[in-house]
Structure 1
């Protein structure tokens, strides 16, 4: 493999001109071309935000000091992970979102449980108001002004409202590659752009923005470049929001399942009911499962609690194997482990 460091732009199908980091340029042409340029944090056009030196999930990691106070704009997984982290470090943290609650992609009861957990950790949560402007005062502190006139003060401001694709400078039109209105590359289920021998993978291809999904995209491309026909269709993608404790989910939420027309049964279990949680004194959280009443198949679970990301894999495996929920309800699981809670969770299904 030859690694060429520089900025590339297409000049024709499967052909790029690279402005080299060390000067000069090169033209490269491949029998196959894969576009995998990823995404960057999105910084919205809020008055004063850029001038106030707002941080993103990239630049926050380069801080060489601990802010006494931090304002987080955005209530998704990334913003909440950093809010939880810096509260644990000792910063005073405020989170603001324009919608009615945090984590809008989760069921309301799960989002409420996460909000209670963050509030108990000292995070101040503001919902239902958008950010009108941001400015620095004479002492260098940032004032995040909300639409109702509330001012959230912080040494630093973190913007965590999503990411946008790195495609603007690629001159994709010269390659015949099409994008969505927001700049993500259009691909089919095989990660082909529709242009012969031209592919895209990872975040820039609109894949769910998780490292483990990019890994699977790689596996699919590796096979397809060798003449196989692997697909992204029907992928069961888990994800974990690394709070303390974690929120892990796979499959549908209850809201999604009902909207899709399923007749569902729902189970909830407080983590405090799991013996292992009591022995380790990690009793915060709630587990929730959604099951199709007709087929007894698991449609999805959300696990908020210690070791949730690890436990989730057991449920995901059962879903991939098309097992009924009773397989987990009745399975003999080592005592005491957090996975043993799956016996209790699926025994708690409501009619």
Structure 2
């Protein structure tokens, strides 16, 4: 048994916990990070964001997918017979590099890491059982930040295993590229993996109760994505309510719906939600209650009902993005020690790493219509951009929404190559309340996808009734 006293204890070493710990250390505070897993990085590094994006890049490279517009589908697939070992080699290398980077950052900032499961005994005291369950640590901390993240939802009636019926954690342990797959849930995670598997040649059926995938998208972008994913071979089955999920005697996955349909495939990927990791924290011991959705409620400073206990990242719910979780962690650490800080940004981008890539910031056209806003739309299709032809992506779209009278940029939506990078131009413009003219009056490198902003702005202003 060991007693440890620190200024800040951070529970969880994912993106939110990392940034919180490092920020507090930069403020001169003693910091302890408690992580129950053997590898640092949380779900983001080990099961979520980094693995899925690494696999996506490997698939695009190894299958020659980017060259399909030049050479056709069959020839691009012939260029590389992709094996699961090819994908896993790249994945393991990236995970090791990123994990080592986190350890180096903690070490350089004198942040101690303790592996074990933490639970509250009082509002200032944590009990930590080491990974083998043999030793107990008592942690006294002036401030505590909960950054325990989330995990895939696993309903008891779903017969998960390691080979046939999978969640996002189990999917990464597959020892083969399946011939066919059912994907339940057409949200971000489901749609990302559906398009990745289709790019590998897997026959994918995407099933959901909605009428199209990714309902959170601007409807025009969503419809384009649906069309392009269909061209890739993703069979979307909307308006379906799941009745039963089972494994057949032959070891295949079967789904029956209340609408009377039956689907069968070699594997099934269950992507219907995530749940916050709070069960083992001992929240009852300190009287912290959860929301109806199982998240920890916080105020704008990320404080819970106890002013010395903060919560950040997936454990507090939406937006549950790695990028926003990092900033939440940093701000929570500054707030915890009354350091000068700012409010959480009003505008921040969303990225969906499907094939093709999607990113957006600000309002959708649907939202502007609902509010009765006076707006105009400017569009630049990738076939209008020289870089699109060079890169073999002529199906993308940059869509700018701006106020018809003031010309202030209200939202930008991008589908296509480099969407998640390109969106940051819009982020800067919207942060400074720029007018759409900003995209016309600046010079962009040529040939780049970024010049699509100018094309879209000109397209929108040509339709606007406001004089230049």
Asked if Structure 1 and Structure 2 have the same fold, meaning a TM-score greater than 0.5 normalized by the shorter chain, the answer is yes
Describe the SS at the equivalent of 2:182: strand
1:112-142 deviation digits (Å, cap 9, x = unpaired): 1101111111111100111111122221111
Q: Mean Cα displacement is larger for which, 284-293 or 340-349?
A: 284-293
CA–CA separation in structure 2 for the residues paired with 1:9 and 1:92:
44
Instruction: Report deviation, 1:155.
Output: 1.3
Instruction: Report deviation, 1:229.
Output: 5.0
| Structure 1 residues 206 and 319: CA distance shift in structure 2, 3 A | same
Pairwise mapping of residues 1-351 of structure 1 onto structure 2 (< 5 A)?
1-22=111-132, 23-44=134-155, 47-50=157-160, 54-228=165-339, 230-349=341-460, 350-351=463-464
| Structure 1 residues 177 and 48: CA distance shift in structure 2, 3 A | closer
CA–CA separation in structure 2 for the residues paired with 1:183 and 1:157:
26
8 Å contact from structure 2 (residues 165, 253) kept in 1: no
CA–CA separation in structure 2 for the residues paired with 1:294 and 1:170:
52
Describe the SS at the equivalent of 1:348: helix
TM-score by length of structure 1 reads 0.94
Aligned length: 350
Structure 2 spans left out of the alignment, 5+ residues? 1-110
8 Å contact from structure 2 (residues 276, 314) kept in 1: yes
Describe the SS at the equivalent of 1:82: helix
CA–CA separation in structure 2 for the residues paired with 1:179 and 1:229:
29
Q: Mean Cα displacement is larger for which, 127-136 or 166-175?
A: 166-175
CA–CA separation in structure 2 for the residues paired with 1:129 and 1:245:
25
Instruction: Report deviation, 1:73.
Output: 0.3
8 Å contact from structure 2 (residues 242, 255) kept in 1: yes
| Structure 1 residues 145 and 229: CA distance shift in structure 2, 3 A | farther
Give the number of the structure whose residues are more often helix, by fraction: 2
Structure 1 spans left out of the alignment, 5+ residues? none
Q: Mean Cα displacement is larger for which, 190-199 or 220-229?
A: 220-229
Cα root mean square deviation, aligned: 1.9
8 Å contact from structure 1 (residues 14, 175) kept in 2: no
TM-score by length of structure 2 reads 0.71
Instruction: Report deviation, 1:231.
Output: 4.7
Q: Mean Cα displacement is larger for which, 119-128 or 282-291?
A: 282-291
